[in-house]
């Protein structure tokens, strides 16, 4: 099995958005281990993200998180990004770090708190207008810890109303993307816990509202590729937050914990028309690099996505369809496994070299001297926001 020119043409179109927060210091609730050379401001986060794109040609956009990436002049930030060969991408809102949001934000029982959260999203939309961003991504920590703590039905109704107000402000060429997560920080119920709830909410909003699927936001054992298939079938898969998990929202390097799961997801993405610039499906990473270095961590991640996409594109669709139609279980399964077990790394390395990229981008970055430079120059780097 080889990567023919058609597959290479498809791979050339791959674009993965990097999260700005992956470059800053992050950790767990137990400890944030600071690293030398981490960015001190959003400008430096973008400079680091641009290094990933430089050695891989895979990561042309950087997602921002507000207020973690708040600056006085977004046009300046946009120009800075463009000068470095990348663009500003998704704007992520934050309604989980303010004292007012102790009992929720868009679903809160107090209208004043809901309005505060809505206003924050209005501010995010204004920022999107300046950064040229297409997507407003909303992940809510809203939920309760104890049965009876609040009325789940009332919260869901309030959430619908709040989202409608935000959606009204979304521009013609913008989208609202609603992310779900089954638990944490709320431990009894979460207001947007699953794809079905996110789907119901975005369908009620309209055609520019979509679901965001974060691969780490499901209970262990969940068949995530089935959800991918269903959302693509329904035309409501807006974006991915890729990462990997052994247990819950681990935010580890995508493809690290379960490469086969990443393959199965990408097979459904390709099957469902979710791959490519016109698919309407944004590939994003949502990861934390707590113990490994940040920039190489992101390089490893985008390469993992590229390798697994190549394998998904290798699946012999015609032969698979015929075997499925004939009820030939073992042949159908082996066609899929043949693609999964194909080592595409040598072919990808050769292809990169032919495009003027380092055959091994990890090595290319290590040899660039950038890491040594930032470690020497930057003192007092930022926390991602999680530990702040
Ligand atoms: C919290 O679980 C979370 O990891 C969500 O996945 C968001 O996408 C991300 O934080 C940034 O807000
Ligand atoms: Mn996420
Ligand atoms: Mn998460």
Does residue 214's CB lie within 6 angstroms of at least one atom of ligand 1?
A: yes
Which residue(s) pair with 138 in the sheet?
178
- pLDDT of residue 388 exceeding 60, the answer is no
262 CA distance to ligand 3 middle (Å): 17
Percentage above 70 pLDDT, the chain: 99
The per-residue pLDDT for 126 is 98
Atom of ligand 1 nearest to the CA of 19: 11
- Average pLDDT (369-379) is 96
- Cβ atoms of 88 and 66 within 8 Å: the answer is no
Does residue 135's CB lie within 6 angstroms of at least one atom of ligand 1?
A: no
Rounded distance between C-alpha atoms, residue 249 and residue 234, angstroms: 26
The per-residue pLDDT for 384 is 80
Rounded distance between C-alpha atoms, residue 182 and residue 101, angstroms: 19
pLDDT band, very low/low/confident/very high, at 22 (cuts 50, 70, 90):
very high
- pLDDT of residue 337 exceeding 60, the answer is yes
- pLDDT of residue 351 exceeding 70, the answer is yes
* Residue that the structure tokens 């040594």 belong to: 372
Q: How does pLDDT run across 180-216, given as a tens digit for each residue?
A: 999 999 999 999 999 999 999 999 999 999 999 999 9
The per-residue pLDDT for 381 is 79
214 CA distance to ligand 3 middle (Å): 7
pTM: 0.97
For residue 221, the SS3 value is coil
ipTM over 0.85: yes
Q: What is the mean pLDDT of the chain?
A: 97
The per-residue pLDDT for 386 is 66
The per-residue pLDDT for 387 is 56
- Average pLDDT (45-73) is 98
- Cβ atoms of 242 and 286 within 8 Å: the answer is yes
Percentage above 90 pLDDT, the chain: 97
242 CA distance to ligand 2 middle (Å): 8
Does residue 181's CB lie within 6 angstroms of at least one atom of ligand 1?
A: yes
Does residue 241's CB lie within 6 angstroms of at least one atom of ligand 1?
A: yes
Q: Where in the chain are the domains?
A: 11-314+358-377
The per-residue pLDDT for 383 is 79
Q: How does pLDDT run across 148-162, given as a tens digit for each residue?
A: 999 999 999 999 999
| Ligand 1 pocket mutation pick from 121, 139, 248 by most atoms within 8 angstroms of CB | 139
Atom of ligand 1 nearest to the CA of 181: 2
- pLDDT of residue 69 exceeding 70, the answer is yes
For residue 135, the SS3 value is strand
Atom of ligand 1 nearest to the CA of 93: 12
The per-residue pLDDT for 1 is 82
The per-residue pLDDT for 244 is 98
Q: What is the DSSP string of 21-60?
A: GGGSB-B-SS-B---TT--SSHHHHHHHHHHHHHHHS---
- Cβ atoms of 199 and 236 within 8 Å: the answer is yes
**Going by CATH, does the domain composed of 11-314+358-377 fall within 3.20.20.150?**
yes
379 CA distance to ligand 3 middle (Å): 28
Give the residue whose CA is nearest to atom 3 of ligand 1. 139
Q: What is the DSSP string of 176-203?
A: EEEE--SSSS-SSEESS-SHHHHHHHHH
214 CA distance to ligand 2 middle (Å): 5
- Cβ atoms of 255 and 244 within 8 Å: the answer is yes
Taking the CB of residue 119, how many other CB atoms lie within 10 A of it? 12
Write out the H or E segment, with its range, that includes residue 333: helix 329-341
Rounded distance between C-alpha atoms, residue 117 and residue 96, angstroms: 10
- Residue 130 in tokens: 């300046």
Does residue 175's CB lie within 6 angstroms of at least one atom of ligand 1?
A: no
Q: How does pLDDT run across 90-121, given as a tens digit for each residue?
A: 999 999 999 999 999 999 999 999 999 999 99
Q: Assign residue 387 a region: left if phi > 0, alpha if psi is -120 to 50, beta otherwise?
A: alpha
Rounded distance between C-alpha atoms, residue 16 and residue 22, angstroms: 14
Does residue 179's CB lie within 6 angstroms of at least one atom of ligand 1?
A: yes
The per-residue pLDDT for 385 is 79
Does residue 45's CB lie within 6 angstroms of at least one atom of ligand 1?
A: no
């Amino acid at each position: 099995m080889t990567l023919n020119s058609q597959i290479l043409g498809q791979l050339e179109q791959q674009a993965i958005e990097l999260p700005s927060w992956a470059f800053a210091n992050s950790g767990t609730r137990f400890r944030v281990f600071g690293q030398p050379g981490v960015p001190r401001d959003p400008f430096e986060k973008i400079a680091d993200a641009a290094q990933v794109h430089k050695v891989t040609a895979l990561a042309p956009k950087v997602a921002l998180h507000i207020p973690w990436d708040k600056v006085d002049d977004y046009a300046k930030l946009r120009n800075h990004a463009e000068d470095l060969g990348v663009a500003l991408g998704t704007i992520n809102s934050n309604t989980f770090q303010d004292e007012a949001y102790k009992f929720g934000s868009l679903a809160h029982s107090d209208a004043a708190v809901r309005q505060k959260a809505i206003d924050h999203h209005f501010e995010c939309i204004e920022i999107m207008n300046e950064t040229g961003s297409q997507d407003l991504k909303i992940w809510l920590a809203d939920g309760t810890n104890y049965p009876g703590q609040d009325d789940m039905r009332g919260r869901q109704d309030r959430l619908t109303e709040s989202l409608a107000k935000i959606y009204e402000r979304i521009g013609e060429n913008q989208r609202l993307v609603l992310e779900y997560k089954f638990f944490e920080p709320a431990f009894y119920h979460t207001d947007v816990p699953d794809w079905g709830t996110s789907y119901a909410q975005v369908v009620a909003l309209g055609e520019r509202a979509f679901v965001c699927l974060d691969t780490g936001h499901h209970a262990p054992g969940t068949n995530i590729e089935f959800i991918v298939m269903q959302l693509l079938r329904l035309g409501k898969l807006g974006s991915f937050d890729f990462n990997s998990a052994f247990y819950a929202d681990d935010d580890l390097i995508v493809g690290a914990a379960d490469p086969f799961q990443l393959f199965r997801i990408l097979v459904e993405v390709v099957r469902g028309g979710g791959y490519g610039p016109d698919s309407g499906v944004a590939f994003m990473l949502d990861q934390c690099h707590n113990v490994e270095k940040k920039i190489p961590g992101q390089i490893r991640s985008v390469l993992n996505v590229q390798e697994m996409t190549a394998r998904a594109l290798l699946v012999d669709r015609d032969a698979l369809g015929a075997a499925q139609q004939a009820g030939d279980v073992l042949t159908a399964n082996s066609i899929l496994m043949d693609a999964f077990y194909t080592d595409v790394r040598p072919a990808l390395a050769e292809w990169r070299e032919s495009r003027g990229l380092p055959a091994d981008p990890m090595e290319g970055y290590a040899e660039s001297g950038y890491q040594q430079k930032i470690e020497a120059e930057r003192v007092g780097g930022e926390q991602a926001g999680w530990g702040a």
